[in-house]
Structure 1
Amino acid sequence: MVVSKILYYEKESLKFNPFEHMQGRIQEMEQASSEGAEIAARWKQIVKQLKDEEYPVVHPSGRETFSLFAEFPSGVFDYALDIDGATSLINENQLESVIYQPSSIIESVDMGNVNTDTSNIKTNHKNPVMVLQSQYITEGKPYCINGNHRITEAFKKQAKQIGVFVFDDLEFVPFFYDLLSKAIYYLEIDYHNVVKNERRLLVDHQTAFAYEF
């Protein structure tokens, strides 16, 4: 299971300034190369478009969302994920779950997301068990964004299997609830490609994810 830092992240994320973070990343890209300067120029335009976006985003009542925290040198950012929207995408595209033994997927559970007070658990299975893994948020490790309690209970009861929907780096981009979450995620990919020369997730017609925003 993931060692939980949820309480720390919840507190620190409130102090995060997404625009200062973006400006810092943009400046590093600008100084890295001529290609980086071109991509940085595009990101400057995007930042101007986002100037009126609120952070942290207000999670609406009556809709299931999830806070996925990312720790940067500039602080902790709260990526807002739309769980109801993810479920709609699963249904619309008739995606199929992956069958796991609970013992092989329990590592995705952050115990900070599991309600240990059994008298206060509200059963809600309208949305399926979902796990994502991203090089830029979870260091490539699986992280459960919905169904933590179901995985935990299946593990405790030594169930033989559990169905899980798994999403990789770009597959969960449509789940972002707000524009800042999408922008900072794409910016991190561009930053690593330019400054750290990782060149991940690019295809022939793409020069940067700034142009996909």
Structure 2
Amino acid sequence: MESNIEIYEKESQKFNPYIHLISRIKEIEEALPYGAEVASKWRDVFAQSLTTKTYPVMHPIGKETFSLYIKFPTGIFEFNLDIDGATLLIKEEGFLPETISPEKIIKAVDQGNINKDPKLIKPNHKNPVMILQSKYLTDNKMYCINGNHRIFEAYRNNDNQIEVFLFKDLDFVPFIYDALSKAIYLIEIDFMNIVKR
């Protein structure tokens, strides 16, 4: 299976988050009378705190992060997730992992981006296996944001279970580390609930 990561990386560089946000605000405004009120609040947020943000965002040095590429009508956007921050949140909040069959979650792994040569794999297990599932970004499909190799190896070895932390919808907002990613995720929630409902 071929990975689209390189294509997405290239395409995401061309994305204009301001065009996307303005487009979504307009669609929300035209949807319902309530939409006009929500759109007005988004215009305030846009004017007060988003116009000075740069894209693409620089990843923090020395932190483990993950880029989640999502295709919108306006192009491919790179969402930035702080994996170290997610691990800290897991510890602070006392989240417990779910035990799942690797067979059930193998589709969450981007297998085109897996190094299958054991000699070339550099294990990094400081952060747990994490899966994101969002009806707003991943069409409610599971998507592995940390631990692809561990899931793949557990599946390949026919293991019965693997421990994963599953984050749904608003659960993972705290580890979206830049303002544009956060704003675009939250406006997608409003867009889906107002325009696409």
Taking structure 1 as the reference length, the TM-score comes to 0.88
User: Is 1:90 aligned to 2:90, yes or no?
Assistant: yes
Aligned-residue offset at 1:4: 3.8
Other-structure match for 2:42: 43
| Whole-Å separation in 2 of the counterparts to 1:140 and 1:194 | 18
Comparing 68-77 with 24-33, greater Cα deviation is found at 24-33
Other-structure match for 2:173: 173
The 3-state SS of whatever aligns with 1:123 is coil
C-alpha spacing 1:156/1:125, structure 2 compared with 1 (3 Å):
same
Deviations 1:56-102 (A, max 9, x none): 11112210000011100000010000000000000111111111121
Q: How does 1:183-202 map to 2 (within 5 A)?
A: 183-196=183-196, 198=197
Other-structure match for 2:78: 78
Q: What count of residue pairs does the alignment treat as equivalent?
A: 196
Identical-residue share of aligned pairs (%): 55
The AA in structure 1 aligned to 2:78 is D
Structure 1 gaps, min length 5: 199-213
The AA in structure 1 aligned to 2:39 is A
User: Is 1:6 aligned to 2:17, yes or no?
Assistant: no
Aligned-residue offset at 1:7: 2.1
Aligned-residue offset at 1:3: 7.0
* Paired residues of 1:3 and 1:110 also in contact (CA < 8 A): no
The AA in structure 1 aligned to 2:74 is S
C-alpha spacing 1:135/1:3, structure 2 compared with 1 (3 Å):
farther
The AA in structure 1 aligned to 2:29 is E
The 3-state SS of whatever aligns with 1:172 is helix
The AA in structure 1 aligned to 2:57 is V
The 3-state SS of whatever aligns with 2:163 is strand
Structure having the larger proportion of residues in helix: 2
Aligned-residue offset at 1:113: 3.5
The CA RMSD over aligned residues, in Å, is: 1.4
